[in-house]
């Protein structure tokens, strides 16, 4: 179709000057000279999280998208330098509270590697269960947000209702519905009783059953497919170049999962598959995570089966207990001895980096210790949200403005996670 | 003159046997008898009560409650409950309306003030005028062979008002929303007119009373089911029901044309879609479901056909609002494509079917 241009001098809107927009004014002028215009999506918008996306549009098609994150930056890295090692555990699950176990796991493993201690077998399985529960919870959360971005309110309510059971399971295990703070250096806080394990097992079956209804109503809905198929395509090459991580990288056909490549905890002893897809569009990004839910449920069930045969007790490493008298009791439940063990914990000087497969992708912790302080000298956190932000912006190009929400939801972008 | 008018009113009054004692008692009081007979005068009754304003209000209050309740039940929630617990929160929309009344109406600086304020009120004109031509049994205001074209023409005015509202709001998202409304309008309007033409061709008349007469034995849906499907989808599209809730998409354009309205003004513009839904459902039940045909309830007299029409309409509206729980929303270009391909071809096929029926002479 022949393109027609109308030569009307258009002034860039005043808000690009009056608001603080982190792009050069020449860029805005250039856009308005070229028969294009720019709109701001967020940070106060029904279809954006706590972030702003500066969208450059030609008609209805997105030419360029620039992120303006940082609205929920809390300075986790700096805060971590002023707290005891053990106090950082509740802090570091705040970037993504629904994904608390994975966020704890990375940090705690860094401490363990520095102390060079081995975690008891039972604790490893409990950690794995918790991490996978959080993964299911996060994927359900993201599916709900995606559904409401597409206007499907039933698809929003059902995953949240399913996630309620996971909150309940976390509560039974740790006492907290979302921020569990349950994983500690050397193991977990306390042992999990048999009845709780049975409850978690039942939850996995229930979620599997309900996920089938969800599939009928939302996933296989023709309108959903029409909205998401071939929308926001990110090619394999681009995804690797831009450093996309997690399910979004796997959706482009790259088989990369930290759990499989550098297994930690009990992942190498369990039978599960790395889920991949080939298309790299919004729909496959969504489907990969849906399939990951069933893989996670599979992992949880296997881990529970192993735990059933294991003797109860002993979930904290003996190396940490030191001078505590009743070691038998303390290794079953840390309660009462917590600050005696961890209050003055100092790590040997050095630097350790751990990679964890959090729900939304690879999570990196780098812990630097000076060898004499009770708090980290430096803690570097690179969250998956931050890593795939570039890929997210890349995939927006060439889509329509109405697709912005579909792509946003398909990435499950969570500003608090990316901003830390 | 008074007596003449009284005679005119009494000569064309609505007969309701169950209310007759009350009416007779009121007739004894001077001046009140004039008001009562004026209200019971069929043309005014059609506009004010059934199928007009009062029925519209009842249907709207019920359907807003039903929409919230059924969506909530599907989604494992309770829905409106706290207000009138024994009725299951039935009067919640009324309470919301009260709240809107007491909220401040903000007119923002950029708005085109006169238009911004008067357009929501003007929007009642295209919504209420069609009731002049929609009969409910013997109750009607104007009987004309051009009733159907007139109704469709008046309903087509609603999008104009929405576009004007968006334009008067003078804000980016309102502008985007009104542009979407315009595109949607182009998407469904042709199909709507073609389907209505098909039905006119099939019945051989555009007079609604005659159309319902012809459906005495069998409803129109059995003769031309394709037209019925097309009309159903057109209605969903025209009233911004899911999956075509595109102009108001709150995740994308944040209620689109109505973004700047507050208080009772928002209450009025929000109900616009429901009013349009009521009108199109009325047309649907008259064209396809046999209108007010149904077993006569002797005790209601003239109201009996009006009640049947009302019930059919409300059941249809319930079907439309239920779509919310099942579908997400299409993208604008997909919806327009749907309108110009699927809907248009369905409506053209229905025109052909109607022509065949007309030629064979089944109706």
Q: What is the span of the domain harbouring residue B230?
A: 41-360
User: Shortest CB distance from B327 goes to which of A221, A401, A402?
Assistant: A221
Residues 6+ apart with CB under 8 A from A95: A76, A103, A381, A383, A416, A417, A420
- Prediction pTM value: 0.86
Residue contact B172–A155, C-beta within 8 A:
no
The nearest CA of chain A is from the CA of B315 a distance in Å of: 22
Here the tokens at position A114 are 């520095």
Residues of A with Cβ-Cβ distance to B254 under 8 angstroms: 45-47
Tell me which residues of chain A, numbers 339 to 358, contact chain B at a CB-CB cutoff of 8 Å.
none
Q: What is the count of structural domains for chain B?
A: 1
The answer to whether B158 and B139 are in contact (CB under 8 A) is no
Q: What is the pLDDT of residue A1?
A: 64
Q: Cβ(A381)–Cβ(A93) under 8 Å?
A: no
Quick check: is B195 in a domain?
Answer: yes
Contacts of A45 in chain B (CB under 8 A): 254
The residue in chain A having the minimum alpha-carbon distance to the alpha carbon of residue B68 is: A153
- Tell me if B26 is assigned to some domain: no
Q: Report residues of chain A scoring pLDDT below 70.
A: 1, 5-9, 46
The answer to whether the Cβ–Cβ distance between A46 and B250 falls below 8 Å is yes
Give yes or no for a contact between A257 and A357, defined as CB atoms under 8 angstroms apart.
Answer: yes
Answer yes or no: do B325 and A153 touch at CB < 8 A: yes
Tokens describing residue A395: 């995939």
d(CA A410, CA B21): 66
Q: Quick one: which of A322, A355, A314, A358 has its CA closest to A340? A: A322
Question: pLDDT (tens digit, 9 = 90+) per residue, B232-270?
Answer: 999 988 888 878 888 887 777 778 888 888 888 888 888
For chain A, count helices (H), then strands (E): 19, 8
A2 or B89, which is more confident: B89
Residue from A53, A61, A150 whose CB has the most chain B CBs within 10 Å, to mutate: A150
Average confidence score pLDDT of chain B: 86
Strand order across the beta sheet in which A350-358 lies: A350-358, A361-369, A378-382
The answer, for A14 touching chain B at a CB cutoff of 8 Å, is no
Predicted confidence at residue A205, as pLDDT, reads 92
Contact (CB, 8 A) for B326 and A214 = no
The answer to whether A155 faces chain B, any CB pair under 8 Å, is yes
Could you tell me which residue, A208 or B218, shows the higher pLDDT?
A: A208
Q: String of b and e for A290-307 (b: at least 16 CB within 10 Å)?
A: bbbbbbbbbbbbbbbebb
Which site among A223, A282, A283, A407 would you substitute to test the B interface, given the most B Cβ atoms closer than 10 Å to its Cβ? A223
Question: Which one of B245, B328, B331 has the shortest CB-CB distance to A403?
Answer: B331
Which residues 49-108 on chain A approach chain B with CB closer than 8 angstroms? 60
CA pseudo-torsion sign A312, A317, A318, A322: negative
Contacts of B333 in chain A (CB under 8 A): 60, 400
Among A45, A47, A158, beta carbon nearest to B75: A158
Residue B15 lies in a domain: no
**Residue A68 and residue A51: Cα distance in Å, rounded?**
6
pLDDT in tens, B320-341: 989 888 888 888 888 888 889 9
Interchain CB contact of A407 with B (< 8 Å): no
Q: Could you write out the DSSP letters of every residue in A50-100?
A: SSEEEEEEETTEEEEEEEE--TT---HHHHHTTS-TTTHHHHHTGGGGGGH
Predicted confidence band of residue B4 (pLDDT cuts 50, 70, 90): confident
Q: Inform me whether the C-beta atom of residue A225 falls under 8 Å from chain B C-beta atoms.
A: no
> What per-residue confidence (pLDDT) applies to A7?
66
Chain A residue numbers with beta carbons less than 8 Å from the beta carbon of B332 are 60, 400, 402
**How many Cβ atoms are within 10 Å of B5's Cβ, its own excluded?**
13
B20 in any annotated domain: no
B46 in a domain, yes or no? yes
| B257 belongs to a structural domain | yes
What is the number of CB-based contacts under 8 A between chain A and chain B?
A: 76
Between B245, B326, B330, which is nearest A217 by CB? B326
**A154 → closest Cβ in B74, B172, B249:** B74
Question: Is A157 in Cβ contact with B328 (below 8 Å)?
Answer: no
What pLDDT digit, counting tens, does each position of B299-311 carry?
877 888 888 889 9
Q: Is B6 inside any structural domain?
A: no
> Would you call A236 exposed, middle or buried from its count of C-beta atoms within 10 A (0-12, 13-18, 19+)?
middle
Chosen for mutation from A151, A154, A400, A410 (greatest number of chain B CBs closer than 10 Å) is A151
Asked if A46 lies within 8 A of B76 by C-beta distance, the reply is no
Q: Do A161 and B172 touch (CB under 8 A)?
A: no
Nearest chain A residue to B255 by CA distance is: A46
Assess if residue B199 is contained within a domain: yes
Q: Do A153 and B251 touch (CB under 8 A)?
A: no
Residues in chain A with CB shorter than 8 Å from the CB of B79 are: none
Overall average pLDDT of the B277-291 stretch: 88
**Predicted-complex ipTM score:** 0.81
């Amino acid at each position: 179709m022949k393109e027609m241009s109308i030569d009307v001098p258009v002034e860039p809107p005043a808000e690009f000057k009056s608001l603080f927009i982190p792009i050069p004014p020449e860029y805005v002028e250039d856009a308005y000279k070229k028969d294009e215009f720019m709109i701001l999506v967020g940070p106060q918008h029904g279809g954006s999280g706590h972030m702003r996306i500066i969208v450059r549009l030609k008609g209805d098609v997105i030419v360029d998208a620039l992120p303006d994150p940082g609205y929920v930056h809390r300075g986790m890295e700096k805060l971590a330098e002023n707290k005891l090692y053990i106090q950082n555990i509740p802090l570091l699950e705040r970037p993504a509270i629904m994904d608390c176990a994975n966020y704890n796991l990375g940090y705690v493993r860094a401490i363990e590697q520095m102390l060079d201690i081995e975690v008891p077998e039972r604790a490893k399985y409990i950690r794995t269960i918790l991490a996978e529960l959080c993964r299911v919870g996060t994927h359900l959360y993201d599916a709900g947000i995606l559904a409401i971005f597409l206007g499907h309110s039933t698809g929003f309510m059902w995953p949240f209702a399913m996630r309620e059971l996971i909150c309940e399971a976390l509560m039974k295990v740790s006492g907290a519905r979302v921020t569990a703070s349950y994983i500690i250096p050397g193991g977990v806080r306390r042992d999990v009783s048999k009845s709780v394990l049975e409850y978690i097992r039942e939850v996995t079956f229930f979620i599997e059953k309900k996920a089938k209804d969800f599939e009928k109503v939302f996933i296989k809905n023709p309108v959903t497919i029409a909205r998401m198929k071939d929308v926001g395509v990110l090619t394999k090459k681009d995804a690797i170049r831009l450093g996309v991580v997690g399910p979004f990288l796997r959706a482009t056909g790259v088989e990369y999962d930290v759990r499989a490549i550098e297994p930690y905890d009990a992942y190498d002893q369990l039978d599960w598959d790395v889920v991949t897809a080939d298309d790299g569009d919004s729909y496959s990004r969504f489907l990969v995570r849906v399939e990951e839910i069933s893989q996670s449920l599979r992992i949880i069930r296997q881990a529970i089966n192993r735990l059933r045969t294991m003797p109860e007790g002993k979930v904290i490493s003996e190396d940490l207990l030191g001078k505590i008298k009743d070691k038998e009791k303390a290794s079953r439940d840390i309660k009462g001895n917590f600050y005696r063990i961890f209050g003055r914990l100092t790590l040997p000087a050095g630097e350790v980096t751990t990679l964890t497969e959090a729900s939304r992708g690879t999570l990196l912790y780098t812990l630097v210790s000076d060898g004499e302080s009770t708090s980290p000298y430096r803690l570097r956190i690179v969250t998956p949200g931050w890593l795939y932000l570039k890929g997210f912006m890349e995939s927006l190009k060439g889509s329509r403005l109405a697709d912005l929400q579909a792509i946003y939801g398909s990435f499950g972008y969570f500003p608090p996670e990316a901003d830390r | 003159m008074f007596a003449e008018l009284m005679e005119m009113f009494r000569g064309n009054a609505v007969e309701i046997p169950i209310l007759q004692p009350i009416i007779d008692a009121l007739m004894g009081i001077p001046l009140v008898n004039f008001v009562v007979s004026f209200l019971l005068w069929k043309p005014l009754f059609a506009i004010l009560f059934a199928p007009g304003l009062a029925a519209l209000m009842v249907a709207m209050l019920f359907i807003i409650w039903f929409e919230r309740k059924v969506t909530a039940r599907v989604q494992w929630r309770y829905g409106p409950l706290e207000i009138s617990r024994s009725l299951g929160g039935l009067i919640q929309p009324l309470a919301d309306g009260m709240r809107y009344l007491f909220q401040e109406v903000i007119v923002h600086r950029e708005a085109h003030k006169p238009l911004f304020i008067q357009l929501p009120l003007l929007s009642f004109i295209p919504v209420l005028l069609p009731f002049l031509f929609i009969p409910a049994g013997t109750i009607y205001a104007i009987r004309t062979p051009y009733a159907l074209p007139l109704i469709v023409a008046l309903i087509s005015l609603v999008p104009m008002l929405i576009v004007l509202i968006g334009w008067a709001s003078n804000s980016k998202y309102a502008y985007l929303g009104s542009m979407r409304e315009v595109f949607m309008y182009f998407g469904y309007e042709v199909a709507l007119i073609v389907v209505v033409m098909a039905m006119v061709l099939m019945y051989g008349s555009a007079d609604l009373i005659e159309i319902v007469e012809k459906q005495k034995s069998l409803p129109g849906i059995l003769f031309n089911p394709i037209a019925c499907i097309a009309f159903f989808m057109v209605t969903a599209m025209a009233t911004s029901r899911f999956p075509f809730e595109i102009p108001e998409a709150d995740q994308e354009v944040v209620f689109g044309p109505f973004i700047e309205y507050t208080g009772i003004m928002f209450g009025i513009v929000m109900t616009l879609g429901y009013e349009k839904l009521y009108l199109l459902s009325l047309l649907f039940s008259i064209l396809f479901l046999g209108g007010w045909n149904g077993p006569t309830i002797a005790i209601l007299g003239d109201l009996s056909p009006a009640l049947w029409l009302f019930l059919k309409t409300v059941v249809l509206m319930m079907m439309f609002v239920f779509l919310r729980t099942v579908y997400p929303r299409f993208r604008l270009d997909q919806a327009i494509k749907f309108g110009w391909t699927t809907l248009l071809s369905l409506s053209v096929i229905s025109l052909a079917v109607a022509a065949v029926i007309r030629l064979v002479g089944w109706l």
